[in-house]
Amino acid sequence: MNTTSWEAVLTLPVSPARDHIRGPVDAPVSLVEYGDYECPYCGAAHPIVKEIQSLMGDQLQFVYRHFPLTTVHLHAEQAAEAAEAAGAQGRFWAMHDVLFENQQRLDAPYLHAYAEALGLDVGQFDRELIEHVHAGRVREDFMSGVRSGVNGTPTFYINGVRHDGSFELPVLQAALRRATSVGA
């Protein structure tokens, strides 16, 4: 072989102990997204993912991991840490939705206001952001993505294998259906 290639598969398996999971842990299909809260494509994918979750119900487990491209998205790292800080208080998904619905408003005062609106302990939230308590976790997500072949955002994995098609609803849904029938 003159060149090496690799399979684009998830190198860090989904784990309820570390991952943010929506849907049953033992669902037949797993959809993992590597995303960036400031990335417009991820913003466009967000309602599609939500729609798929409501269409598939208990058939689907959705996992979100951070892949902030801080070189071009100045607020992406802080937003990812904010989601984790909300997660530390049990509200990861609520903050996740708010961030994607407000991609143009990710400055620190907005993040503080979102934490307040979600009823979080804002003292703890602010402190965790200032001290970058969750930076290590975000970097771990990022590097796990790099090692799994994430090459842009969003990148999706279906049952651990990279989905190279588009994330338009019919395409993603068809791929997930195929995975469901294979898994059944």
Which residue intervals of 118-168 are DSSP H helices? 122-130, 135-147
Comparison of 21 and 45: residue with beta carbon closer to another protein: 45
Q: Which residue from 171, 160, 161, 155 is spatially nearest to 41, judged by alpha carbons?
A: 155
Please state the closest distance from residue 3 (CB atom) to another protein, in A: 5
Comparison of 36 and 84: residue with beta carbon closer to another protein: 36
Applying CB under 8 A, among 17, 71, 90, 130 the residue interacting with another protein is 71
9 binding another protein? (CB under 8 A): no
Q: How many residues sit close enough to another protein to count as binding (CB under 8 A)?
A: 19
Comparison of 152 and 183: residue with beta carbon closer to another protein: 152
Q: Are 51 and 174 in contact (CB under 8 A)?
A: no
Q: Which residue from 129, 62, 70, 56 is spatially nearest to 93, judged by alpha carbons?
A: 62
160 binding another protein? (CB under 8 A): no
Q: Are 113 and 83 in contact (CB under 8 A)?
A: no
4 binding another protein? (CB under 8 A): yes
54 binding another protein? (CB under 8 A): no
143 binding another protein? (CB under 8 A): yes
Task: Categorise residue 78: left if φ over 0, alpha if ψ from -120 to 50, beta otherwise.
Answer: alpha
Residue 49: burial class (beta carbons within 10 Å; 0-12, 13-18, 19+)? buried
What distance in Å separates the CA atoms of residue 32 and residue 167, rounded to the nearest whole number? 12
Applying CB under 8 A, among 25, 55, 72, 117 the residue interacting with another protein is 72
146 binding another protein? (CB under 8 A): yes
171 binding another protein? (CB under 8 A): no
Applying CB under 8 A, among 62, 142, 156, 157 the residue interacting with another protein is 142
Applying CB under 8 A, among 96, 148, 157, 179 the residue interacting with another protein is 148
What distance in Å separates the CA atoms of residue 1 and residue 151, rounded to the nearest whole number? 24
Q: Which residues bind another protein (CB under 8 A)?
A: 2-6, 8, 69-72, 142-143, 146-152
